[in-house]
Structure 1
Amino acid sequence: MTDLATRPDAGGSSDDEASSAPADDSVDAPPPAYEWAPTEPAPKKRRLWLWIGVPVAAVAVGLAAASLVLIAPGTSIAGVPVGGLTPGAAADALDQRLADTTIVLTGAGADVEITGAELGASVDARALADKAFASHPAWNPTSWFASPSDAQVAVDTATAVAALRTAVPSLYVDPTDAAIAYDPASATYVVTPAVEGQGVDVQAVQTALTEAFAQGETRVELAATTAPVEPEAPTHVAEATASILNRMLDTAGFYVGDERTVPLDRSTVASWLTITPGDRGTFAISANASAIQPTVDGLQAAVDRAPVDSTTIVNAAGTVLSTPTAGAVGRTLDSTSGIANAYADQLAAGNAVYQLPVTEVPFATTSLARSIEVDLSEQRIYVKENGNVVDTWLISSGASNTPTYTGHYTIGYKTAVQTMNGFNRDAAGNVIGTYSTPNVKWPMYFNGGQAFHGVYWHNNFGHTMSHGCVGMPEWRAQWLYNWAPKGTDVWIHS
């Protein structure tokens, strides 16, 4: 075998082989069985578009992604362009532009510059930016270059007033608050009215700042104008507080139920109270518990009382005819501990009526069953109480021709004095004339025209003398009149 690796012409064929090869080139020749050196590789295809297309595609993807979080081009809020910004960056831009916007106050001597930041100006920047993005997102070309949206500028009044007062003090006159004081002469609280002050018109400054911001201006001139400055404590609030205080003085005291058991002097209560300015123009009321304590220490003696027993006059059936002595419940003050502090708190709340903690002591009732008995056979009257004879004396009842009728009656009509008129009768009972007796005292009727009464025209008691009435000395009649109420039982018998 021939060592082909050592032949320099290894790429050709031998003569024998060449002479014996067919001449027809239509027959495919087999590929060479070997090569002395490698063949040159086929040229590679060039892909330049990949090197250009990849960055362009990345940029396109980035722009598409950015359009999802950016506000559309040409968008502005008030005078601040926010297109191409995120809502957060737009909010920052709004805040910064408003803070930097400068108002130049003219006409107050030298011109004075003051910024939105110094005035305490603000807008709801984030809400405005979010709204702008929601309405005009960058990914939506139809929303590009929209009309500017409005922004309402707010100014913190206290901050603005402080800044303006520092900038132009010559334009400020301080207001005077209303005041409340106790007047001993009238024993009432009186009001000193409030007086308006003067200062730079904050509303005008806010309007100028809003307009400048809306128009995209960072500096605007404004002629300094003044406006009234309301006092912190206005007159109407002071008057309302004084009304409360005076009502307190009218009702001040320590009460048991509806009874003002211990009234309090108006000037004393006023000395316990202090009136000071409160929050937002109001007035605060406070009371000194230590000053109240001496009055509280004396409450026990003023409040405690023993019960008063009741006395009633009744008839035999138990019906109350009169109450000579009305009963009264007694009471004792439970304790004075803590009352001074509690009353001080109550006064501070505008209530001067203090209900005392007391224990009631009930009263007893004594009923007196009163009655009048007349024994015609004895010509004597007996006055009784609960069946016992209280007193007795001689009387003069009706004569035989005008008798006093027996029976059980009750006292009816009573009068202190009157003229009595009637008929005179003979022994047979026939009318033989009339009579008229003036100034008859203490009559009490029990049976028609028959009555108990005083007699001044005779002194023959113990004998029948009258036209049917029961007569007695005037002083006796007066006592009986006062002793026996209407409805008192009467028993006339022989």
Structure 2
Amino acid sequence: MTDGAPGTDGATYAWAPPEPTKRKNRSGLWIGIPAGATAVALIAASLVLIAPGASVAGVQIGGLTAGAAAQAISNRLAETAITVDSPAGAVTVTGADLGATVDAAALADKAFADNPMWKPASWFPEGTGVQVQVNADEAATALKNRAPGTYRAPVDASIAYDAGSQAYVATPAEAGEGIDVAAVTAALQSAFDAGQSSATVTASLVPVDAPVSTDEAGAAVATLNGILDSVGFYVGEERTVPVDRATAASWLTVTPDGKGDFAISADTAAIQSAVAGLPGAVDRAPVNADVIVDTGGEVIKALAEGQTGRALGDTSGVAAAFAKQLAEGNGRYALPVTETAFDTAKTERRIDVNLSTQTTTLWQNGEVYRTYTISSGAGDHATHTGNFRIGWKTPMQDMGCVPGYDYCTKDVPWVAYFNGDEGFHGTYWHNNFGTPMSHGCINMTIPQAKELYDWAYRGTEVSVHY
């Protein structure tokens, strides 16, 4: 020390320099850091890498991540070359040319799941096979482009409207010819399974089906002709305004997509011209019914059928809506109408035969319509009593005139039977009305019989009594 200080005893003391502090040896720590980090990195890598020796269809994917493995599998398949010995010479196509694919991502994920690097027991597993998928259209195109002399294009089935038959008809498809895609696909599969980057195959020429088949065109023709069979504007189930087949066909356009589907579209403007004339064809006033009924109200004769009235509603959207329906294959368009019910006029009719007074009375709506003096059956041929209905009627008939009858009367007019062989008819062989005279029938003058014949329909009630 250069400095000193007197002590209490008068002596002067000097401070000794302090001993230097020993440094801690940290070299081991610095040396250990790289080794530790490497171990951690290796452990982390083992958690995402596939085990050494793993392979898929000959593609070595050990030590790769699942993503890198998927890419390696896809690349190998795309680059695999197949040399095809064809009638036009040798041509070479790759997996990429053929549109070949595998689910590489799923294969790689499974390889890692089954054989992770962190699991030594899974190292160097057996290789995994895989099914290769080839796009037949891409393959056929590639082979056609490489060897055009081997290819003859198929002809699609087609559809056209035939004016003579007023129907759509289909022209059948014609098969083409080309290199056998199945043989080339098998060669690619075999090479890929074996882990080979190339292979050679001899492929013959085989038929090439048309993209649009005869059956597909036939199905479209059936839809189109179904439209023509039913096309029109409907009120309920009634095709109120039919559309003729040629007109409907002129509305339609059929467009093939080249893959078997035929799109149907319809011309809204052309349909609109038909819609403009609908009110005149649809609108009508109601027509009342006129019927003859029995005493129970049952109809025995309809003199006039009733018809509902109807008025067409708003047609502003009809053409567009019908065009949409036709495109969907439906030719029945339901019109918006308001209907008005009809009334029914009922006339009740019945016939009364009084054997005591020898009269026949026609009753209509509870009132006497006509009364005639008649001659009924006499003696053993007395007319039977009871309630009957008019059945068979004939303007003229011979009566008797067959074995079993003791009389024969020719050309009896205006016959209306009500009970077996008993009926009303005209009489020209006597004029003694008011007295029983017949073999059971009701004799009337010819004009009276004609009036009853026209007035009494089949089913008219007949009451015969004393």
Query: Counterpart of 1:103?
Result: 82
Query: Counterpart of 1:479?
Result: 451
Per-residue CA deviation, residues 209-241 of structure 1 (Å, 9 max, x unaligned), is 233233332233333543332211111111111
Query: Counterpart of 1:299?
Result: 278
Query: Counterpart of 1:329?
Result: 307
The Cα of 1:380 is off from its aligned counterpart by 7.0
Among 165, 170, 174, the alignment partner of 1:191 is 170
Query: Counterpart of 1:117?
Result: 96
TM (norm. structure 1) is 0.75
Structure number, greater radius of gyration: 1
Query: Counterpart of 1:455?
Result: 427
Query: Counterpart of 2:190?
Result: 211
Among 329, 337, 354, the alignment partner of 2:333 is 354
Per-residue CA deviation, residues 390-420 of structure 1 (Å, 9 max, x unaligned), is 4566x45369989989999665555433515
Q: Please, what is the CA RMSD of the aligned residues?
A: 4.1
Tell me if the contact between 1:333 and 1:356 (Cα under 8 Å) persists in the aligned partners: no
Letter in 2 for 1:419: M
Per-residue CA deviation, residues 28-77 of structure 1 (Å, 9 max, x unaligned), is xxxxxx9x9999x9x99999988877655554554344333322222222
CA distance in 2, matches of 1:72, 1:476: 118
Q: Secondary structure at the match of 1:457?
A: coil
Structure 1 gap segments, 5+ residues each: 6-33, 422-432
The Cα of 1:374 is off from its aligned counterpart by 7.2
Query: Counterpart of 1:174?
Result: 153
CA distance in 1, matches of 2:23, 2:422: 159
Tell me if the contact between 1:399 and 1:464 (Cα under 8 Å) persists in the aligned partners: no
CA distance in 2, matches of 1:232, 1:473: 85
Among 14, 37, 62, the alignment partner of 1:83 is 62
The Cα of 1:113 is off from its aligned counterpart by 3.5
Among 178, 184, 200, the alignment partner of 2:179 is 200
Query: Counterpart of 1:441?
Result: 413
Query: Counterpart of 1:11?
Result: none
CA distance in 2, matches of 1:45, 1:301: 115
> For residues 261-300 of structure 1, what are the structure 2 equivalents within 5 Å?
261-278=240-257, 280-300=259-279
Query: Counterpart of 1:419?
Result: 399
Q: Secondary structure at the match of 2:50?
A: coil
CA distance in 2, matches of 1:321, 1:99: 85
The Cα of 1:303 is off from its aligned counterpart by 2.8
Structure 2 gap segments, 5+ residues each: 5-13
Tell me if the contact between 2:297 and 2:348 (Cα under 8 Å) persists in the aligned partners: no
Pair 1:464–1:117, CA change in 2 (3 A): closer
Letter in 2 for 1:369: E
Among 421, 433, 437, the alignment partner of 1:466 is 437
CA distance in 2, matches of 1:214, 1:406: 105
Equivalences, count: 446
The Cα of 1:477 is off from its aligned counterpart by 0.4
Query: Counterpart of 1:424?
Result: none
Tell me if the contact between 2:57 and 2:193 (Cα under 8 Å) persists in the aligned partners: yes
CA distance in 1, matches of 2:291, 2:432: 32
Letter in 1 for 2:448: R
Query: Counterpart of 1:145?
Result: 124
The Cα of 1:435 is off from its aligned counterpart by 5.0
Q: Secondary structure at the match of 2:300?
A: strand
Letter in 1 for 2:428: Y
Letter in 2 for 1:334: L
Pair 1:229–1:471, CA change in 2 (3 A): same
CA distance in 1, matches of 2:379, 2:203: 118
Query: Counterpart of 1:310?
Result: 289
CA distance in 2, matches of 1:194, 1:226: 19
CA distance in 1, matches of 2:420, 2:77: 107
Per-residue CA deviation, residues 75-130 of structure 1 (Å, 9 max, x unaligned), is 22212212222222222322333333223334465644433333333332222222
Letter in 2 for 1:259: E
Among 119, 135, 138, the alignment partner of 1:156 is 135
TM (norm. structure 2) is 0.79
1:246 matches 2:216: no
